Amino acid sequence: MDSLAFYLLLLVSLTAVANPTVASATTIGVTYSTPRSISGSELLFSPERIAEKVVSMKIPAVRLLDSDPAMLRAFADTNVSLFISVPNPLVPLLASNRSLATAWVNRHVAPFYPRTNISIISVGNDVTSDSPDVSPFLLPAMENVHGSLRDLGIHKIPVSTTLYFFNILPAIFFPSAARFQQPKGEDTIRPILQFLERTNSSFLLNLHPYNVYESSFIVPFGHVIFDESPLCFIDDYPARLRYRNSFDMMVDAVITSMAAMGHKDLPLIVAETGWPSSGVETFSEEDLTLVYSEMFLRGLLAHLRSGSGTPLRKEGLLAVYVFELVEEEAKGMRNSGLLHHKVQL
């Protein structure tokens, strides 16, 4: 099957995302990385064709990893909500120079908004794991992008940054006792939380439950793939809470950590989640199957649509984006999300 067929299969898989059987306050979207030719100079798929297919499948939200202007233009007048990002290498530059932040906004936002429904801007993606570490530049860059938007009269697009769960939280047992890892918590996360509260933005998180299973002997496999068996649960004894899946445990660990810093009501968006089906060398081969990946995705979507939220946040998350990679298998990267599934959800 060629690359376009794979991607169309992804879109078909998501048909039910926009047509849940139970009402849910959580927006369910998909991450899209704009695939290019081997030379890297040409788009493999027409942005207009991709936008048309997304609209026809009634997918409500898309996270664009590279914020390609052609893709932004293609989604004009579609009402599809777009989550766009500032690339990590630009973070120090935008932090040091307000005019560069304004130039980025003038290229990636101003020509398209409001005809293109840009819902949020993430300044960087998991920059705390980059080398060299550019996390000290995160807040100044966020402030400059936010200020540049306001200078242009754009007041409804919030600015945030996307962090990776295991880079900010060393453990999740128990969620009620979770705290952000130090000194990163005080030096980096607390000022960011204050900025998000002040600007009415959301905390963005990359969250993969399979990492919990991989790194812990305590969590049963069924817990990470939303097994609904009556005996598949983990109790948070100090808080007298019961968790029937690892996704909720991870979310509530973040909520508890934010609450410990005085920001318990800050909206939370899971910017990336999924299950690997190949290419992760540290993960047991017997778990890297399309069957388990499909089980995880089915369980995740059913849980989000149920409207039950988490034990600590009954209203649920603001949004969740299913992670996928297009044209990356040949490069030895993992395949998550719905890319290779014949899933009729």
Q: Model confidence over 149-206: pLDDT tens digits?
A: 999 999 999 999 999 988 898 766 789 989 998 888 999 999 999 999 999 999 999 9
pLDDT at 329 over 60: no
Is residue 57 very low, low, confident or very high in pLDDT (cuts 50, 70, 90)?
confident
Q: Vertex 296, ends 292 and 302: CA angle to 5°?
A: 145
pTM for the full predicted model: 0.87
Minimum mean pLDDT range among 84-88, 137-141, 214-218, 305-309 = 214-218
Q: Structure tokens of 223?
A: 């817990």
pLDDT at 72 over 90: yes
Is residue 212 very low, low, confident or very high in pLDDT (cuts 50, 70, 90)?
confident
Strands (E), 140-246: 159-164, 203-206, 234-236, 241-243
* Burial environment of residue 93 by CB neighbours within 10 A (0 to 12, 13 to 18, 19 or more): middle
Say if strands 234-236 and 241-243 run parallel, antiparallel, or are unpaired.
antiparallel
Minimum mean pLDDT range among 53-57, 80-84, 129-133, 272-276 = 129-133
DSSP-assigned states of every residue in 11-46:
HHHTGGGGS-SS--SSEEEEEE---B-TTSSSBSS-
Instruction: Tell me which residue of 146, 145, 82, 86 sits closest to 118, measured CA to CA.
Output: 82
Arithmetic mean of pLDDT over the chain: 83
* CATH class as words, domain 3-331: alpha beta
Assess contact for 13 and 28: CB atoms under 8 A.
no
Domain boundary assignment for the chain: 3-331
pLDDT at 16 over 80: no
